[in-house]
Amino acid sequence: MNHSYKVIVVGAISVGKTAIVNRYIYNTFNPLHHLTIGASYYSSKIKLDTGKEINVNLWDCAAADGRFNNLMPIFFKNACVALVVYDVTHVDSFDQSLKLIEFLRQQLDDVDIVLVGNKIDLDKTITTNVETIANQCGVSFFECSAKTGRGVAELFDFVHQQIKQRHHQKPHVDHDHVVLQQDDRTLSCCHL
């Protein structure tokens, strides 16, 4: 059986969701901002200690604004890990990430949430102790820079560990999984 796990990347506009995914999948960085419409979908595999491979389906979701448009829950469905990204130079994006965490908890009953502060190559303007807030919210916390790559491998190593643990406890088949190409790593877009 093909075991698949869905990971969603969510957060306010322009925080670097697409840039983080591009850094992870292609190890590249594009300084221009292209609006993500709906969601982009990527498929990759991780190897278990047994040698067996499991699928990781990564969904780079369009920005969620404060009201969370009605379509977002469609993309969130069946996610087992959610990366909630904010921009360390934009307090508003951090506030939105906290609202989004609450929203995800209402939508999904079994999701591991990771709060991700991106753009650490720039000067931080958020003075709040984010780590403490993350602890209080019961979410994991990472910081990274999609631009320099710093912290991105660590973030996805952690995601893989979470998925492996989950697989060990209760193997899951992601019915949203669509194989679009033969490659190990495939890319497609879902335009609405």
Ligand X SMILES: Nc1nc2c(ncn2[C@@H]2O[C@H](COP(=O)(O)OP(=O)(O)O)[C@@H](O)[C@H]2O)c(=O)[nH]1
Contacts with ligand X, residue ranges (CB under 6 A):
11, 13-19, 30-33, 36, 63, 118-119, 121-122, 145-147
Question: Which C-beta is closer to ligand X: that of 4 or that of 40?
Answer: 40
- In angstroms, what is the minimal distance from the CB of 48 to Mg ion? 30
Question: Which C-beta is closer to ligand X: that of 4 or that of 11?
Answer: 11
- In angstroms, what is the minimal distance from the CB of 51 to ligand X? 34
- In angstroms, what is the minimal distance from the CB of 104 to ligand X? 16
Query: Choosing among ligand X, Mg ion, none, which partner's interface includes residue 33 (Cβ < 5 to 8 Å by kind)?
Result: ligand X
Query: Choosing among Mg ion, ligand X, none, which partner's interface includes residue 192 (Cβ < 5 to 8 Å by kind)?
Result: none
The secondary structure of the chain, three-state, reads CCCEEEEEEEECCCCCHHHHHHHHHHCCCCCCCCCCCCEEEEEEEEECCCCCEEEEEEEEECCCCCCCCCCHHHHHCCEEEEEEEEECCCHHHHHHHHHHHHHHHHHCCCCEEEEEEECCCCCCCCCCCHHHHHHHHCCEEEECCCCCCCCHHHHHHHHHHHHHHHHHHCCCCCCCCCCCCCCCCEEEEECC
Judged by the rule CB under 5 A, the positions of this chain that interact with Mg ion are: 17-18, 36
Question: Which C-beta is closer to ligand X: that of 55 or that of 97?
Answer: 97
